[in-house]
Amino acid sequence: MILTSTMIFVVNSSSLFYVVTFILAFVYVPASVVLTLLLALFFALPGRRARSSPLIERK
């Protein structure tokens, strides 16, 4: 599996997203629940594969 910069950003920022939902729980619980469900769905779905460049030779 090839890690792209976008994938690395998402993996590194996932903890930050959950911290935001935790803080949001003290302000507005329904929004925190919805955001947590959306994050769980986002991270459960498989990522799209990057298109390979025609200049890169496949082995």
Give the pLDDT band (50/70/90) at residue 12. low
Domain boundaries, the chain: 5-44
**Tokens (6 digits) for 3:** 């890690």
Q: What is the pLDDT of residue 35?
A: 92
Count of CB atoms situated within 10 Å of the CB of 34: 13
**In the predicted model, what is the mean pLDDT of residues 12-38?**
88
pLDDT of residue 17: 85
SS3 of residue 21 by DSSP? helix
